[in-house]
Amino acid sequence: MSNTIMVIYPYLDEETWVFDDDRAGLIREPFVSGIPQMLDLMVADIPNAKWGFKLFFSQNPFPEYQAELTWLREEYGGHWYRWTAKNMEGWLCPALFRYFSETPQKIYCKAEKLGTLKK
């Protein structure tokens, strides 16, 4: 079985959570429509998260995940998800399909601080 946990590195750019992923062909890809508020909660205890953090995500649960997002509906080529534990909804744009071949019914997420490089 291949690794099903993926990671991106969001950061704030002009007060908007964005991320870059050269492998997926995405530069300053923004999070919109409810997802920024979810990220704000997930990084509340991460110092200087605005400069960047690790966001792990998978369609399968993994140890210590913070959020379980459940699929609600399709709209404008993207998909709405609900974080039931926090009573929040957010829309993930079609860039979702750079990571998943089919619409995941659940997405599990965890935010962590960036590590320091050892020299």
In the chain the domains, ranked by start, together with CATH numbers, are 6-113 (2.40.50)
Place of tokens 């913070």: 66
DSSP state of 10: -
- The fraction of the chain above a pLDDT of 70, given in percent, is 94
Of 33, 46, 36, give the one whose Cα is nearest residue 13.
36
Computed over every residue of the chain, the mean pLDDT equals 93
pLDDT in tens, 4-48: 899 999 999 999 999 999 999 999 999 999 999 999 999 999 999
Q: If pLDDT is split at 50, 70 and 90, which confidence band does 116 have?
A: low
pLDDT at 65 over 80: yes
Predicted pLDDT of residue 115: 83
pLDDT in tens, 79-101: 999 999 999 999 999 999 999 99
Show Cβ contacts of residue 11 under 8 Å, excluding neighbours closer than 6 positions: 17, 18, 19, 50, 51, 52, 53
